Structure 1
Amino acid sequence: MNIKRIGSIAAIAIAGAVVLSSCAANESGSGDTAAPTSSSGTDYSKLSGTLTGSGASTQQTAQGVWAANFQNVASGVTVNYSPDGSGAGRKNFISGAADFAGSDAALKDEELSGSFDLCTDKAIDIPVYISPIAIAYKVDSVKELTLDAKTIAGIFSGKITKWNASEIADLNKGVDLPDTNITVVHRNDDSGTTYNFSQYLNVNASDVWTEEPSQTFPYSVGDSAKGTSGVASAMASASNAITYIDDSGAGDLDKAKLMVGDKATEISAEGAAKVVSDSELETGREANDVAIDIDRKDTAEGAWPLVLVSYAIACQEYKDADKGALVKGYLDYVVTQDAQEAAAKEAKSAALSSDLSEKAAKAVASIK
């Protein structure tokens, strides 16, 4: 792919993010996916130009798959995606340094009321990626672990500091928990994963997690790292450690079961997708702004309410019509069933449901 310097985004970072992940996609065979059916009748082969995206590191694997496969049907288009974090991605999009953003949190009211450098007016949120957030850990001899929201909140706020603390032991009868300190690893960047994690805890354990949902980690505890890959790297060299991480980045780390209602539930993309399907759209937004109000208290069988919905953020209308056509064409592909299933295979994410895919496709079709 041709890598160009765009605004404040480093070309080297873009190259690392897109070229490597695209190669991985091709090695896995996902690059051979047949041409998908365009929901809007777009002829991908007639598109040409370069798109720059910036944002959620959770989307990195999926964006690599999408970028690689899109070139099979739109050989004239190069898509660069830099996993700078959700907050940085939104800032880059707002300032015009990126043509679209990836974000694990929808645009805030104050962002929506502001101006967007590339847009004639407003911007919209389009869901493109659904994934469970794992509570991943690395503790010698502990291969089975169950946690509930209150205990997770206690650990990550620094109130529970030992692995054999009674709060953990009570949930794990028969498990030999070590008498060692817990090493907490958390994100240190402006992170949508942190926002979703903190929202889940604030809703389900507000007496312990007393901070409001935030994209920056609110407590002074443990070690920190930037991005999904940074957290995974920190965990690889840590001991007796625990973190929250998009499931795509958890690798070989052990993953705790989550108490959902009265049942210990294993993490699954299907459980994450169920929660999103059970949730409503946020109210008070424009017709084409498809933001999800996630039901964090969903206790249905198999549900995984510690879930994130990641969005592509784009202009409703671009000042540059040619750029608008490129963004529209790429996102039109991203929300197709073929693209969603290809990303799900590589990133362990959940494909958009037919209902949500229809809403997303309608929003993409409205881009000018």
Structure 2
Amino acid sequence: MNLKRNGALLGVVAVGAVTAMSLTACGSDNNAASATVDTSASTASCEGKDKLSGAGSSAQKNAMDEFTSAYIAACQQKGKSVNVAYNPSGSGDGRTQFIANQIDFAGSDSAIKGDQAEQAKQRCAGSDAWNLPLVFGPVAIAYNLNGVDNLVLNGETIAKIFNGGITKWNDPAIAALNSGAKLPDEKINPIVRSDSSGTSDNFQQYLQASSNGAWTQGAGSDFKGGVGEGAKGSAGVAQAVATAPNSITYVEKSFADQQKLSVAQIDNGSGPVKLSQDSASKAISNATFKGAGTGDLTLDLQSIYGTKEPGAYPLVLATYEIVCSKGYDAATSAAVKSFLTSAANEGQQSLAAQGYVPLPESFRAKINESIAAIA
């Protein structure tokens, strides 16, 4: 996705900036970092062990490549050789490997909780595992509808499309949001994920929060709406919509861009909002946390998905880094803190070019506080 970068990330790269290098990480298929990152002011200590390992969310795979390249470059300037191997094996597998002490950190589209959080305590020497939301990516409502370039939907109409409550493009509920648009009298063809997916889980949580009760199917990694044609993976649903007139799907914006799909505006109750870096960042800036907001930073997703803030695009996928708050050996603790410090700061500089939303400044400050508190 080629969203415009936040102005704070633009400008001439300072002396000492280095071009982020490529890294071959375990399980990854394309690890070339794509942007020039200024690491001259990095606060990463580069202390601890030289090699870290992680696994989990494929949604954050490209972000992890950028983080790793920036970290390597920052530590090279300090005379230290480091490496991070990240396997995008899926959120569930990442949490399982973390609990089993097979990796140093996990990437996950959902916070670790319940029985898994209790199991993680054993791995963390009796201490809690923390969820640190470090990567955000907007999810598009992408569609293929001839003659309609600026479709507007809201949570209720999206829910009814994906649970069969609305079946025609010229349904009065859609027409009311699109005055003057030539909506065809055609059957809507929803395309949904056939595989288990964090995108499906977050999409359905959004529908629960925003549809005024129209979505009663619940959430989870499997799509529960009961309608639509299935396609595997983000690339699969995007390609299916590109070749199927009158179709619609939910997919990460970068995949919609790759297929040149139209993307709906979402009316969160304060008027239609186009998907952009700024509108997604606005929703993230207003996010709140389930706990006290120190240490563990599990998000209260209602604060994002249910936002009424004018100009905020609410459908944003958050992915976490899961780490031990305490319980690492000293070398691992130092390296985890150093890597995450780099990721939360200079690592954010190149994310917009990869289709993610860099952390807003106020949010990034809280992430840095939690990273510093890892013992």
Letter in 2 for 1:15: S
Between the two proteins, what is the percent identity of the paired residues? 34
Tell me if the contact between 2:54 and 2:85 (Cα under 8 Å) persists in the aligned partners: yes
Aligned residue in 2 for 1:314? 323
Secondary structure of residue in 2 paired with 1:250: helix
Q: Secondary structure at the match of 1:80?
A: strand
Contact 1:56/1:191 (<8 A) preserved: no
Match of 1:217 in 2: 223
User: Aligned AA for 1:261?
Assistant: G
Is 1:67 paired with 2:68? yes
Q: 1:15 aligns with which of 19, 28, 35?
A: 28
Shift of the 211–101 alpha-carbon distance from structure 1 to 2, 3 Å rule, reads same
Matches within 5 A, 1:102-121: 102-115=107-120, 118-121=123-126
* SS of equivalent to 1:272: helix
- How far residue 156 of structure 1 moved from its aligned partner, in angstroms, is 0.9
* Residue identity opposite 2:246 in structure 1: N
Letter in 2 for 1:308: L
Give, in angstroms, the shift of residue 288 of structure 1.
Answer: 0.8
User: Using a 3 Å threshold, how does the CA distance of structure 1 residues 339 and 242 change in structure 2: closer, same or farther?
Assistant: same
Picking from 34, 40, 43, the partner of 2:38 is 34
Matched with 2:353 is 346
| C-alpha distance in structure 2 between counterparts of 1:319 and 1:48, whole Å | 12
Q: Alpha carbons of 1:3 and 1:297: their partners in 2 closer, same or farther (altered >3 Å)?
A: closer
User: Partners of 1:241 and 1:324 in 2: how far apart?
Assistant: 48
1-side partners of 2:289 and 2:91: how far apart? 20
Q: How does 1:137-148 map to 2 (within 5 A)?
A: 137-148=143-154
Deviation at 1:273, TM superposition (A): 2.2
SS in 2 for 1:114: helix
Contact 1:61 1:346 (8 Å CA) reproduced? no
| Matched residue type, 1:354 | E
Q: 1:3 to 1:261 in 2, by over 3 A?
A: closer
- Aligned to 2:177, the other structure's residue is in SS state coil
- Provide the C-alpha distance between the structure 1 equivalents of 2:235 and 2:60, rounded to a whole number of angstroms: 11
How many residue pairs get matched? 345
TM-score of the pair, normalised by structure 1:
0.83
Q: Distance in 2 between matches of 1:103 and 1:66?
A: 16
Q: Which whole-Å CA distance do the structure 2 matches of 1:100 and 1:233 have between them?
A: 33
Q: Judging changes above 3 Å, is the alpha-carbon distance between structure 1 residues 232 and 2 closer, same or farther for their aligned structure 2 residues?
A: same
Contact kept, 8 Å, 1:163 with 1:177, in 2: the verdict is yes
From 180, 199, 206, the equivalent of 1:200 is: 206
- The answer to whether the aligner puts 1:302 opposite 2:311 as a matched pair is yes
Q: Is 2:276 the partner of 1:250?
A: no
Shift of 1:320: 4.1
SS at match of 1:359: helix
Give the C-alpha shift of residue 86 in structure 1: 2.9
* Matched-pair contact (CA < 8 Å) for 1:88–1:190: no
Please tell me whether residue 289 in structure 1 is matched to residue 296 in structure 2: yes
Q: Give, as a single letter, the amino acid of the residue that structure 1 aligns with 2:167.
A: T
Which residue of 2 is the match for residue 87 of structure 1? 92
Aligned residue identity for 1:34:
D
Change over 3 Å in CA distance of 1:260–1:50 after alignment to 2: same
Q: 1:264 and 2:272 equivalent?
A: yes
1:161 equivalent in structure 2: 167
Equivalent position SS for 1:342? coil
In structure 2, do the counterparts of structure 1 residues 301 and 275 end up closer, same or farther at CA, with 3 Å as the change threshold? same
How far residue 319 of structure 1 moved from its aligned partner, in angstroms, is 4.2
- Which residue of 2 is the match for residue 58 of structure 1? 59
Distance 2:239 2:50 in 1: 35
Matching residue's letter, 2:166: I
Residues 49 and 332, structure 2, Cα contact 8 Å, conserved in 1 = no
Q: Distance in 2 between matches of 1:232 and 1:57?
A: 16
Alignment equivalent of 2:182, drawn from 167, 176, 180: 176
Tell me which of 42, 45, 61 is aligned to 1:43. Answer: 45
Judged with a 3 Å threshold, the aligned counterparts in structure 2 of structure 1 residues 97 and 254 are, in CA distance, closer, same or farther, namely farther
SS across alignment from 1:311:
strand
Q: Please say if 1:239 is aligned against 2:228.
A: no
Aligned to 1:363: 370
Q: Distance in 1 between matches of 2:344 and 2:231?
A: 31
Post-superposition offset of 1:271: 2.1
1:331 alignment counterpart:
340
Q: Is this contact kept in 2: 1:190–1:216, CA < 8 A? A: yes
Q: Deviation above 6 Å: which 4+ runs of structure 1?
A: none
Contact 1:99/1:118 (<8 A) preserved: no
